[in-house]
Structure 1
Amino acid sequence: MGLTQHKNTVATIQELVNLHLLLGAIGRDSAGLCPVRGHNNGQGDRTMGVFEKMPEWFLSNLEREFQLKTARQHGYDTVTSIMSMHEGEANVFYAFSGDYIQATPYTVFTSLTLLNCYLTVHICTKLNRSHVITGRTDLILPCLGRSEKETRNRVGQFLTVENSMSVVHASHGKLHPASPNLLSEPEIVARKAAATALSSRSRTPWLELGTNCNQIRDLLARVAPGFENFHESSPQQRVERRPSAGVRQANVYRP
């Protein structure tokens, strides 16, 4: 990640590729380039639709599954989000985990842009620097960590995560939650959807989705190519997603 976020990124990686070509390390077993990006709760987000420029086929799949009209106007990436808050075009900041201020470029400038917001919201497992630089109104919503046990309706829940090698596998929490009142990220999002106009415009059982991760995986299997029969795969085993003709486009949008 140090290479990919450097100001001389393109030239540096070009030279690394040249070096590997000179060594004959391309197209050879146990050799080659491996760009390690993201981590187990971030890798694969774009395959799931967390991208500001999702393609038409993905948006159409969402509309068909959720009976909702989705926006076709592209959103903002990290840098343009910062500029839009600075210029007052965007005035609500909503974050899932992470330390936004520390992770983005120009720390002081980014801090000032958050102060311009009417509302800042953080769904998080622990406090960080970004939580003390707030908009006019600030909400901090503590959530379960991936290492904590989650049981809903007497059924243990597990998350599916994708590692840097594009291998999807189950993640079971083993620790007792810090508080019995903590909710998971999916349940917080589901409750928000159920409390808004989304619940009246869609037949989707939002509250059920928040307490049953298998139902989320069932929906995912019908929206994202390559994830057919997703949750039927054994949760105890790693499941490597093997690209097929229908997956090629999905793989392009990996972070």
Structure 2
Amino acid sequence: ERALDMVLASRRVIVCWAMGLTQHKHSVPTIREVVNFLLLRGNIGRTGAGVCPVRGHSNVQGDRTMGIFERPAPAFLDALEKEFGFAPPREHGYDVVRAIRALRDGEAKVFFAMGGNFVSASPDTEVTEAAMRRARLTVHVSTKLNRSHVVTGARALILPTLGRTERDAQGGGEQFVTVEDSMGMVHASRGRLAPASPLLLSEPAIVSRLARRVLGEDSVVPWEEFERDYGAIRDRIARVV
């Protein structure tokens, strides 16, 4: 009743929620009712009012926008094939829960993480740890150590990388990355600090060099260009999405 009185007395209401609601079994109907609640008193489209879904990471929404999804749409895959000239896999991948099950059941044998703290952030810590230990190889590209680094498969690698606060100088000059925050705002992120070590590689450099080693120099994807100039990556993303 107190909450109701506060809502009735306010001309502007913002409802915030985080991953507990977003990932809930009944998330869609629940969030639909949240929106209906706001619509009842005109709190959608009004300055200082509305919905505020808080993501688990500042760039989760940005990942989805530019195509990082375990179940990509056929139109996206068609655009990817047209842009790069190779046939991308059409089979769906794993989301977080299915990835844990796949590791547990031996269907997946390699875990490769770009940042994050997978063990601690996943829904069931004990189940996740047991699944990770069944992997043949676990790899973490990370800016700092966390719990996931000590829960390993048969072999484990930690690949240190530049943080977003560190200057990133490549062959094409000083680079910046673009991020989409939890409010849907896209902006540039440019490091200002000296790197912790001259040996640190950036995430794009690690991915590009790994791809060249695995796929060979005959790959149709211009990995060296992507490492040298992040603008080239953004240009390709723009043409695909």
Distance 1:10 1:71 in 2: 29
Which residue in 1 is equivalent to 2:150?
132
* Structure 2: stretches of 5+ with no match in the other structure: 1-17
Higher radius of gyration, 1 or 2 = 2
TM-score (norm 2): 0.85
Distance 1:54 1:42 in 2: 15
Distance 1:152 1:116 in 2: 37
Higher normalized helix content (fraction of residues):
2
The Cα shift of 1:18 comes to: 4.1
Opposite residue 187 of structure 1, the aligned amino acid is A
Aligned counterpart for 1:211 among listed residues 206, 225, 228: 228
Question: Residues 12 and 60 of structure 1: is their aligned pair in 2 closer, same or farther, counting only changes over 3 Å?
Answer: closer
1:153 paired with 2:171, answer: yes
The Cα shift of 1:69 comes to: 1.4
Opposite residue 235 of structure 2, the aligned amino acid is D
Moved more, 145-154 or 71-80: 145-154
Which residue in 1 is equivalent to 2:11?
none
Moved more, 116-125 or 58-67: 58-67
**What are the within-5 Å matches in structure 2 for residues 17-96 of structure 1?**
17-96=35-114
Question: Residues 7 and 73 of structure 1: is their aligned pair in 2 closer, same or farther, counting only changes over 3 Å?
Answer: closer
TM-score (norm 1): 0.81
Aligned counterpart for 1:185 among listed residues 203, 206, 213: 203
Opposite residue 208 of structure 1, the aligned amino acid is E
Opposite residue 137 of structure 1, the aligned amino acid is R
Question: Residues 153 and 14 of structure 1: is their aligned pair in 2 closer, same or farther, counting only changes over 3 Å?
Answer: closer
Superposition RMSD in Å: 1.9
Which residue in 1 is equivalent to 2:130?
112
SS in 2 for 1:61: helix
> Using CA pairs below 8 Å that are at least 6 residues apart, which structure has the higher relative contact order?
1
The Cα shift of 1:37 comes to: 2.2
How many percent identity over aligned positions? 52
